[in-house]
Each structure stands twice: as structure tokens, then as C-alpha cells.
């Protein structure tokens, strides 16, 4: 999965914002500049500060919104994809601000894996303050800039661990990326009518525009559906389908498969195999797999294009929280 934001220069940010203690009051903290986390809209930025602890460890602060238009709470708990988006943004921020990656370079995630503590994920009437401890390992640098690393993260609120997770990241320069992508570098979503959505009640979406699945008539199988110009899901600079779309399509598919039973995953692991290209159908298939322990439900979701896997997600939920 690639994650990029096209900019007009390759500026190396140098200004460091010191981490502040998480505050338990309704006022929202000021987010970091959106270009450092590849988010053009301030309301989508989840990270608020950073601080280096040593050569491989960092501390960040952030917040989860309580009234975001897209990341709506599910059954009184924060949106299942918020943890993954927090891990993604934290890695991007550190890469740009602390590890020498210029803006305009391209990030490729090979995986994004996290486990949450369901009892500490309750949404509030104000933003939820976060502290995020990050450890980098297996780090490779090239010409003073990050080439690849694993980011391990522990996310806390009010001193309680709410999630742990990791991602593997590699970085390519614009020139290398152009050679990799070739003529596909100019690909953008094709205009045209939007496919009909599955009922939004099945996916937990706030509106039909947020539904990422279109029915195929085959149980457990859908087509990826993305509303043109969607402020959160669509990055107009991307030459392929953004990774966030794939993550959320996976959790929507797991919900739709198990409906009308509730499904709120506490564990979510995704392996990314290739880009999801614009202009070609992306098939999303979900199936329930045998649980390894009693009291849990596990769903595997596979995204395919041209008969080849794009991503594979495994989502696990506690039956007691359904």
C-alpha cells in the first residue's frame, strides 16, 4: 500500500514540537501540519505533537475525534479503523520530521497490524487524548533519509493501554516511484455514475456516501465502491486506491457478512500485496473462519483485482462485545 501526498518541493521539516501531557478536558489540541501525515484536511489529522526519546524511540500525542463526519463511533466505541490510521499517521510524521524523508517521497506499507482493548475504546463527548510510544527497529537509512523500518506502537489514553500495533514501511524517491509506476502514475478515478451501495446499516456507515461496498448478488462478495471526491477517503494526488479505503472496506465487509449480528473487531491485521488500481473492479470477499479460541469471531477479507490478491485482512471480535 502506498501513501503519498504530492507537493511542490522536497522540504525537510526541522521544527520540533515537544510532547505535552495528555489533557482530559473538552478542548481539542492543535494538530500537526497536515502535509506531514499526508492529510489535506485538518479535521482528519490525529497527531498533535512529537518528541524524540533516543535514537530509536519517540513519544507522540494525538486525539481521536468524537464527532468526525466519517470516523463515526460504532456501538459506543471509536471507529475500528482509527487505530490503524493513528499508526499510519505517526509513522509518516516521524519519517518526515525525525528521519529525514523529504515531502513528496512515497511510502509503501507491507502490513498494518494492531490489537485494541475493547473496554477502553469508549467514545466520549469530547476528543479522546492519546499518548503514543513508538519504537523503530530494523531501520535502514540511505543518504541520511529513512529507507525502511518497522514501527511498533503503544497507544494510551488516561494512562490505560488502548492499543498496540506495528507497520513495516519502505520509502521510495519520486524518480524510483515514476519508474515503478510507469504510465499508471497519471491514473486517477474515472468519472461516471457511482455504483449502488449496500444498506449503510450493514456497514455501520453514517451515510450512503461512506459505504465502500456495492452488492454483486453473491453472498460474501462485493465490489469496492468509492464516492468521487470523498474528503476523507479520496486523496486526489494518489495514482491508486488509498490504503485507508481498503482497510475500511475490509471492516465494512466483515460487518456486512455477519449482519444482523454485531461485529466490532478488537484485532485487525492486514497484509498488502500490490496496489489497487483505478479503473478496474476490485472484488472484496469475506468469509468466517474457525476461531482459535472460544468466545471470538474471526473474519478473513480478501481484496482482488485481475484475479490477483491486493490485500488480505484478518479481523477478530469478542462475542461478548457484539
Interval 231-262: pLDDT, tens: 787 776 788 898 989 999 999 999 999 999 99
- Cβ burial of 30 (10 Å; 0-12, 13-18, 19+) is exposed
Do 157 and 215 reside in the same domain of the chain?
no
Within the chain, how many helices (H) and strands (E) appear? 4, 13
- Which tops the pLDDT comparison, 230 or 26? 230
pLDDT tens digits, residue range 117-139? 988 888 888 999 999 999 999 99
**Beta pairing partners, 164:** 115, 154
pLDDT of residue 20 exceeding 70, the answer is: no
Do 163 and 193 reside in the same domain of the chain?
no
The predicted pLDDT at position 29 comes to 74
Do 143 and 20 reside in the same domain of the chain?
yes
Q: Indicate the average pLDDT of the chain.
A: 88
Q: Shortest CA distance to 151 belongs to which of 138, 164, 136, 165? A: 136
The predicted pLDDT at position 1 comes to 54
The predicted pLDDT at position 6 comes to 30
CA-derived radius of gyration, the chain: 19
Do 115 and 198 reside in the same domain of the chain?
no
pLDDT band at residue 230 under the 50/70/90 scheme:
confident
Do 239 and 312 reside in the same domain of the chain?
yes
pLDDT of residue 320 exceeding 50, the answer is: yes
Q: What is the mean pLDDT of residues 187-194?
A: 78
Do 287 and 262 reside in the same domain of the chain?
yes
Q: Shortest CA distance to 216 belongs to which of 310, 286, 306? A: 286
Listed as own residue / partner, the contacts of 187-196 with beta carbons closer than 8 Å and 24 or more positions apart are 187/239, 187/240, 187/277, 187/278, 187/279, 188/236, 188/239, 188/278, 189/226, 189/228, 189/234, 189/278, 189/279, 190/278, 190/279, 191/228, 194/225, 194/227, 194/228, 195/223, 195/225
The predicted pLDDT at position 17 comes to 41
Q: Which residue has the cell 449480528?
A: 261
pLDDT of residue 283 exceeding 80, the answer is: yes
Domain total in the chain: 2
Q: Mark which of 163, 179, 195 sits at the end of a domain.
A: 179
What's the domain range around 278?
187-321
Do 168 and 113 reside in the same domain of the chain?
yes
- Read off the CATH number of the domain in which 152 is found: 3.10.129.10
Do 139 and 14 reside in the same domain of the chain?
yes
Q: What is the mean pLDDT of residues 220-237?
A: 84
- Cβ burial of 221 (10 Å; 0-12, 13-18, 19+) is middle
Q: Mark which of 142, 160, 179 sits at the end of a domain.
A: 179
Do 32 and 77 reside in the same domain of the chain?
yes
Do 61 and 126 reside in the same domain of the chain?
yes
pLDDT band at residue 7 under the 50/70/90 scheme:
very low
Q: What is the mean pLDDT of residues 268-276?
A: 95
Do 138 and 73 reside in the same domain of the chain?
yes
Q: Mark which of 125, 150, 179 sits at the end of a domain.
A: 179
Q: Count of residues for the chain?
A: 322
Do 16 and 162 reside in the same domain of the chain?
yes
Q: Which three cell numbers stand for residue 138?
A: 530494523
Amino acid at each position: 500500500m502506498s501513501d503519498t501526498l504530492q507537493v511542490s518541493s522536497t522540504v525537510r521539516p526541522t521544527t520540533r514540537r515537544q510532547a505535552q501531557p495528555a489533557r482530559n478536558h473538552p478542548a481539542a489540541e492543535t494538530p500537526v501540519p497536515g502535509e506531514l501525515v499526508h492529510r489535506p484536511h485538518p479535521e482528519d489529522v490525529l497527531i498533535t505533537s512529537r518528541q524524540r526519546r533516543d535514537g530509536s524511540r519517540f513519544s507522540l500525542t494525538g486525539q481521536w475525534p468524537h464527532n468526525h463526519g466519517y470516523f463515526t463511533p460504532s456501538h459506543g466505541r471509536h471507529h475500528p479503523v482509527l487505530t490503524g490510521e493513528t499508526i499510519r499517521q505517526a509513522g509518516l510524521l516521524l519519517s518526515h520530521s525525525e528521519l529525514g524523508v523529504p515531502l513528496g517521497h512515497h511510502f509503501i506499507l507491507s502490513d498494518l497490524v494492531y490489537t485494541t482493548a475493547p473496554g477502553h475504546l469508549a467514545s466520549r463527548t469530547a476528543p479522546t487524548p492519546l499518548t503514543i510510544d513508538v519504537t523503530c527497529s530494523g531501520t535502514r537509512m540511505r543518504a541520511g533519509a529513512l529507507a525502511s523500518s518497522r514501527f511498533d506502537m503503544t497507544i494510551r489514553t488516561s494512562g490505560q493501554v488502548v492499543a498496540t500495533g506495528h507497520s513495516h514501511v519502505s520509502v521510495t524517491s519520486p524518480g524510483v516511484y515514476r519508474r515503478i509506476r510507469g504510465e499508471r502514475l497519471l491514473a486517477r478515478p474515472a468519472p461516471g455514475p457511482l455504483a449502488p451501495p449496500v444498506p449503510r446499516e450493514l456497514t455501520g456507515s453514517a451515510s450512503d456516501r461512506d459505504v465502500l461496498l456495492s452488492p454483486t448478488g453473491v453472498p460474501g462478495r462485493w465490489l469496492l465502491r468509492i464516492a468521487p471526491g470523498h474528503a476523507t477517503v479520496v486523496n486526489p494526488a494518489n495514482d491508486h486506491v488509498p490504503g485507508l479505503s481498503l482497510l475500511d472496506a475490509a471492516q465494512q465487509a466483515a460487518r456486512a457478512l455477519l449482519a444482523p449480528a454485531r461485529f466490532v473487531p478488537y484485532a485487525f491485521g492486514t497484509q498488502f500485496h500490490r496496489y489497487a488500481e483505478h479503473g478496474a473492479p476490485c472484488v472484496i470477499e469475506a468469509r468466517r473462519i474457525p476461531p482459535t479460541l472460544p468466545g471470538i469471531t474471526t473474519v478473513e477479507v480478501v481484496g482482488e483485482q485481475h484475479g490477483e490478491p491486493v490485500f488480505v485482512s484478518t479481523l477478530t471480535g469478542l462475542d461478548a462485545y457484539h
